């Protein structure tokens, strides 16, 4: 598990206790609307934002990092006067990494707390659970990090600040073919996750178009922790590398087991690898790569200022999830300042018309399908720490 700062640890423990007592609960680290208040999101002096995330569970670093980034942006915006004179209040609910809890959390944020907009989720499967609720109730939702194309296809209330998997699959394929000069790939993906299965298909399509060959395609399911059968099959097919479009929770075990089997080829993956938990792989992931949304080594002022302020607040270097959380709520503030009103329709219209927004993760323009178009970076893992390796631009 990640090492949490003291306030975040307290919030997470209380959220977990609350969840155990009765489903997802409001993080106590947030400011809550007064009991019995109505339409708090539209009040004259408050701009109420909801966030649903995996603050606990096996992928908790996703939710904690994203929430940290959002809170930092909220604090900065409030210090600068808020949004149109309104101070921002953030409510975060823990979905425990479960799709059904995501439905409960989003419904509660809208029906009980009356938020103006919703942020979330990281995992595409959980965003696909929460997005229909926002669409049906007419409340804008911005997902910071869900890359499956189906998420924003839910409707005009749903947008994102990250790139999508067809591009991310292309990034992995192009890096393998042109930077590493590799031509024989195997893939190992989670068939139960929309993110993993979709990205696997996107990578294969791009790799074949670039002249590569996929010699083995292996799969696993949620909860699996023994990958030796799949890795043995891959070894027999002579793959030069393995594309692993999974989450960090699985990648660490896959890398360790591959090395134990003598399978000493690079692993390449997507942004689901991004976590400080990669350190648990020791040297097993050295010489492996993953695509991501930003590098802390980027010298742009937006990046270096963000890294500096995040480290001062939380005592560690922000990962890509934190950067995307930061960008998502700042883009929301920008749209709210431009919107004709804070009604769901007007706010969604302003979000969807965003062009050239300068974020930590790049310059963001929302396209006709409400996706962000921008560059991707490829990071190399060195003793568990991601290091910048390359930038891949959209065609």
Q: What is the pLDDT of residues 75-87, one digit of tens each?
A: 999 999 999 999 9
What percentage of the chain exceeds 70 in pLDDT?
Answer: 89
Distance CA 258, CA 250 (A): 12
Please write the tens of the pLDDT for every residue from 56-111.
998 899 999 999 999 999 999 999 999 999 999 999 999 999 999 999 999 999 99
CA gap 20, 12 in Å, rounded: 12
pLDDT at 272 > cutoff 60: yes
What strand order describes the sheet that includes 372-373?
357-359, 362-366, 372-373
The 3-state DSSP class for residue 220 equals strand
- For the segment 203-214, what is each residue's pLDDT rounded down to a tens digit? 999 999 999 999
Alpha helices in the chain (DSSP H): 6-22, 60-79, 99-111, 124-137, 165-174, 194-209, 228-236, 248-260, 301-314, 320-338, 344-352
Angle CA(386)–CA(387)–CA(393) in degrees, nearest 5? 105
Q: Residue 43's pLDDT is what?
A: 65
- Give the Å distances, CA to CA, from 87 to 48, 81, 325, 383: 8, 7, 19, 42
Measure the CA angle with vertex 140, ends 138 and 143; round to 5°. 140
The two three-digit tokens of residue 253, written as one number: 């075990």
Residue that is written with structure tokens 């068939």 in the block: 191
Give the separation between CA 123 and CA 340, rounded to whole angstroms: 31
CA-wise closest residue to 180 among 72, 96, 266, 306: 266
**Nearest CA among 301, 329, 290, 387 for reference residue 66:** 329
pLDDT at 20 over 50: no
> How much is the pLDDT for 56?
96
pLDDT over 60 (residue 40): no
Q: Is the alpha carbon torsion for 200, 198, 119, 140 positive or negative?
A: positive
User: Given this model, what pLDDT does residue 41 score?
Assistant: 54
pLDDT value at residue 45: 87
């Amino acid at each position: 598990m990640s090492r949490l700062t003291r306030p975040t640890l307290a919030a997470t423990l209380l959220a977990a206790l609350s969840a155990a007592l009765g489903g997802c609960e409001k993080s106590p680290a947030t400011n809550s609307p007064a009991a019995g208040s109505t339409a708090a999101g539209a009040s004259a002096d408050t701009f109420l934002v909801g966030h649903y995330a995996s603050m606990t569970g096996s992928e908790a670093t996703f939710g904690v990092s994203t929430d940290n980034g959002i809170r930092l942006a909220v604090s900065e915006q409030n210090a600068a006067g808020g949004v149109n004179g309104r101070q921002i209040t953030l409510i975060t609910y823990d979905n425990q990494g479960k799709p059904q809890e995501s439905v409960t959390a989003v419904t509660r944020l809208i029906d009980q707390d009356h938020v103006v907009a919703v942020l979330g989720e990281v995992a595409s499967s959980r965003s696909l659970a929460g997005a229909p609720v926002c669409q049906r109730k007419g409340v804008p939702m911005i997902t910071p990090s869900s890359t499956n194309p189906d998420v924003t296809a839910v409707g005009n209330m749903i947008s994102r600040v990250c790139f999508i998997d067809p591009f991310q699959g292309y990034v992995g394929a192009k890096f393998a073919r042109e930077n590493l000069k590799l031509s024989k790939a195997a893939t190992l993906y989670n068939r139960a996750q929309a993110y993993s299965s979709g990205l696997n298909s996107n990578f294969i399509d791009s790799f074949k178009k670039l002249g590569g060959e996929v010699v083995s395609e292996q799969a696993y399911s949620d909860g699996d922790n023994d990958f030796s059968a799949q890795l043995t099959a891959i070894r027999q097919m002579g793959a030069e590398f393995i594309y692993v479009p999974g989450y960090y929770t699985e990648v660490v075990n896959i890398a360790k087991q591959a090395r134990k089997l003598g399978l000493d080829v690079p692993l390449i993956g997507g942004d689901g690898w991004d976590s400080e938990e990669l350190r648990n792989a020791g040297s097993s992931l050295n010489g492996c790569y993953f695509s991501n949304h930003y590098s802390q080594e980027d010298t742009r002022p937006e990046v270096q200022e963000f890294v500096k302020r995040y480290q001062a607040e939380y005592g560690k270097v922000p990962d890509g999830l934190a950067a995307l959380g930061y960008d998502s709520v700042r883009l929301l503030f920008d749209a709210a300042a431009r919107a004709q009103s804070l009604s769901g329709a007007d706010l969604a219209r302003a979000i969807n018309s965003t062009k050239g927004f300068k974020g930590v993760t790049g310059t963001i323009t929302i396209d006709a399908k409400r996706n962000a178009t921008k560059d991707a970076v490829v990071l190399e893992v060195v003793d568990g720490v991601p290091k910048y390796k390359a930038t891949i631009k959209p065609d």
